Chains A and B, each alone.
Chain A
């Protein structure tokens, strides 16, 4: 059992990784990007394409794909979200949903319905494991993912609190107009935030491909995982996202133990229970469920 708990905690690292970009973008732009999961799958396919066609290791491929994801994030904000956000809070939902449909089906058109994985391209890493005291075996990849998540969340936290750019992003997330009055270029801050968010999405997509399989329509599930982890983690600091990811993963592990089909059900139920408790205990205001407050954590 303790073995499963450890596996669950490590899986939580992956969920934190995919969730942090979603809640980060929501905090800064008040937009839930429904194409979030599809973009992660896009990154996984890009790495798979580089590996299978040009024999570029997925880790090396990140050097190409992550900058590309940053450009995609920047363009997404400048050309789509900025414009659709002017039409109110509802329009970006429709815009990003349309984008998700386009990405999913273009991937399907290009790569077909086959299930892919990056595991064949990372050598023995996909199945290597360390033995911990008490004859517990932990996968090296799972540990790498978890450590990456911790480093990424910590780095993001430091960036937001310690750098000028991070402060201007935080100022924009508090109030873009007032931030503009004191000389923050909020358009630029938002575009950079979107680029950063997409880099985290790209990284999450890479790990999705390494630790499991994916197909062109896998984006929706990843979006739901990201959303659930972010909501469970709550409006604390970015570290809340890590807690949310771990809780989600543990609930799924528990669900799978109770019933063979219980993996996803366990996660969804945990999400709804947390949501229920949060809705009825806190006077949840306009700030919303996903809002991070990096400022308070500093």
Chain B
């Protein structure tokens, strides 16, 4: 049967989701009016988690680069913010200048590290994070593990500070997600997904593998740098041990693995779930951490696509569509997305 296929870039659901997301962002922007101070702080933490998850996902899920050393950029984001603020820059401005510096620093690191593969890359990044932690400790301003504070933030009163950081975190999250979305939806996105699905095949059809990976590496470093600087702004104190802790990478891995590695929505879902789990079980201390590790372990073994990846595959869901859908007329009769297996779209998990 000759059919004329329709190529779509989204579904009705994804168009509705677009409008829904705009509404959510507006709602979040005015939310502090109605929230307690404690809730505003928690929401700020949530935005930072979303950034961390999305950035680790960009690297691992789309670039195929699993790093267990991303605390490097989290710590550096905070450290450079301290240094810049100490040099007299406005503390809020230094948060973002710091992230740009982190992005710039990640470039030479990428030249070196991207030559490593898989596990060697993963643990190599960890070595760099450990080394950087030790070097930051040597800085007299930091005073070793004693740490220091972002003192200049104290000129603002507590509520101004809280609200400003909230909005900065919301804006950073929205902007970073938009950048990632644009990147994945544009021509680079095709290259990124090709690399994700099969690196060697992508290279053989002329995809610039290393250049694309480098772009993702630097973007992830920048984004995680923003997150680290924002975390510093909420916590005020900077202790190298807290920021250069591998636990941050463990959180990122947990969020992405549970949400759905390699799916744009999955990372956000994972961050939301992590936020809820932390809110409910964070107080149980060590059992909470055991639970996180065990959950990551179980997901990697039994549900490696994560929650969103599994749902997406089964039901053909697509909210924030970055891929292409080929819809055959036969599908339309049965309701389009109901038979994703008949289309090529199930390969486009992005």
Residue of A nearest to B294 (CB): A102
Partner of B297, one of A95, A268, A271, A286: A95
Shortest distance between the CB of A35 and any CB in chain B (Å): 10
The majority secondary structure among interface residues of chain B is helix
Pair A224/B127 contact, Cβ less than 8 Å: yes
Pair B66/A94 contact, Cβ less than 8 Å: yes
In the bound complex, what is the Cα–Cα distance between A80 and B120 (angstroms)? Answer: 20
Using A94-B253, A94-B300 as known contacts, say yes or no to A261 and B290 having CB atoms under 8 A apart.
Answer: no
A-B contact pairs, 23 of them (CB 8 A): A26-B119, A80-B301, A83-B301, A90-B60, A90-B118, A92-B119, A93-B66, A94-B253, A94-B296, A98-B294, A98-B295, A102-B290, A105-B290, A220-B126, A224-B123, A224-B127, A228-B127, A231-B120, A261-B138, A265-B135, A272-B128, A272-B131, A288-B117
In the bound complex, what is the Cα–Cα distance between A102 and B300 (angstroms)? Answer: 14
Q: Which residues of A contact B120 (CB under 8 A)?
A: 32, 231, 288-290
Q: Which residues of B contact A212 (CB under 8 A)?
A: none
Pair B292/A93 contact, Cβ less than 8 Å: no
Q: Bin chain B's interface residue count.
A: 35 or more
Shortest distance between the CB of B267 and any CB in chain A (Å): 14
Pair B304/A87 contact, Cβ less than 8 Å: yes
Q: Which residues of A contact B86 (CB under 8 A)?
A: none
Residue of B nearest to A231 (CB): B120
The answer, yes or no, to whether A264 is at the interface (CB within 8 Å) is yes
- Name the interface residues of A65-102: CB closer than 8 Å to any CB of B: 80, 83-84, 87, 89-95, 97-102
In the bound complex, what is the Cα–Cα distance between A108 and B287 (angstroms)? Answer: 10
Using A84-B301, A93-B66, A94-B296 as known contacts, say yes or no to A272 and B127 having CB atoms under 8 A apart.
Answer: yes
Shortest distance between the CB of A81 and any CB in chain B (Å): 10
Pair B68/A97 contact, Cβ less than 8 Å: yes
Q: Bin chain A's interface residue count.
A: 35 or more
In the bound complex, what is the Cα–Cα distance between A93 and B66 (angstroms)? Answer: 8
Shortest distance between the CB of A234 and any CB in chain B (Å): 13
Shortest distance between the CB of A111 and any CB in chain B (Å): 11
Pair B123/A34 contact, Cβ less than 8 Å: yes
Residue of A nearest to B123 (CB): A227
The answer, yes or no, to whether A269 is at the interface (CB within 8 Å) is yes
> Which residues of chain A have a CB within 8 Å of any CB of chain B?
26, 31-32, 34, 80, 83-84, 87, 89-95, 97-102, 105-106, 108-109, 220, 223-224, 227-228, 231, 259, 261, 264-265, 268-269, 271-272, 275-276, 279, 284, 286, 288-290
Using A98-B300, A289-B120 as known contacts, say yes or no to A264 and B64 having CB atoms under 8 A apart.
Answer: no
Q: Which residues of A contact B246 (CB under 8 A)?
A: 220
Partner of A90, one of B66, B250, B293: B66
Pair B64/A101 contact, Cβ less than 8 Å: no
Q: Which residues of B contact A276 (CB under 8 A)?
A: 112
Chain B, 283-309, contact with A by CB distance < 8 Å: what is the 0/1 string?
000110110111111101100100000
Pair B68/A95 contact, Cβ less than 8 Å: no
Shortest distance between the CB of B249 and any CB in chain A (Å): 8
Chain B, 105-117, contact with A by CB distance < 8 Å: what is the 0/1 string?
0000000100111
Q: Which residues of B contact A272 (CB under 8 A)?
A: 127-128, 131
Pair A275/B124 contact, Cβ less than 8 Å: yes
Shortest distance between the CB of B290 and any CB in chain A (Å): 5
Shortest distance between the CB of B347 and any CB in chain A (Å): 16
Pair A108/B286 contact, Cβ less than 8 Å: yes
Residue of A nearest to B289 (CB): A105
Pair A34/B293 contact, Cβ less than 8 Å: no
Q: Which residues of B contact A26 (CB under 8 A)?
A: 119
Pair A105/B130 contact, Cβ less than 8 Å: no
Pair B123/A223 contact, Cβ less than 8 Å: yes
Q: Which residues of A contact B64 (CB under 8 A)?
A: 90
Pair A227/B127 contact, Cβ less than 8 Å: yes
In the bound complex, what is the Cα–Cα distance between A105 and B117 (angstroms)? Answer: 29
Pair B286/A109 contact, Cβ less than 8 Å: yes
The answer, yes or no, to whether B237 is at the interface (CB within 8 Å) is no
Using A93-B122, A97-B250 as known contacts, say yes or no to A284 and B68 having CB atoms under 8 A apart.
Answer: no
Shortest distance between the CB of B19 and any CB in chain A (Å): 35
Using A94-B257, A264-B134 as known contacts, say yes or no to A84 and B300 having CB atoms under 8 A apart.
Answer: yes
Residue of A nearest to B122 (CB): A93
In the bound complex, what is the Cα–Cα distance between A223 and B127 (angstroms)? Answer: 10
Residue of A nearest to B67 (CB): A93
Q: Which residues of A contact B126 (CB under 8 A)?
A: 220, 224
Q: Which residues of A contact B253 (CB under 8 A)?
A: 94, 97-98
- Name the interface residues of B132-180: CB closer than 8 Å to any CB of A: 134-135, 137-138, 144
In the bound complex, what is the Cα–Cα distance between A77 and B73 (angstroms)? Answer: 33
In the bound complex, what is the Cα–Cα distance between A80 and B304 (angstroms)? Answer: 13
Pair B134/A97 contact, Cβ less than 8 Å: no
Residue of B nearest to A259 (CB): B138
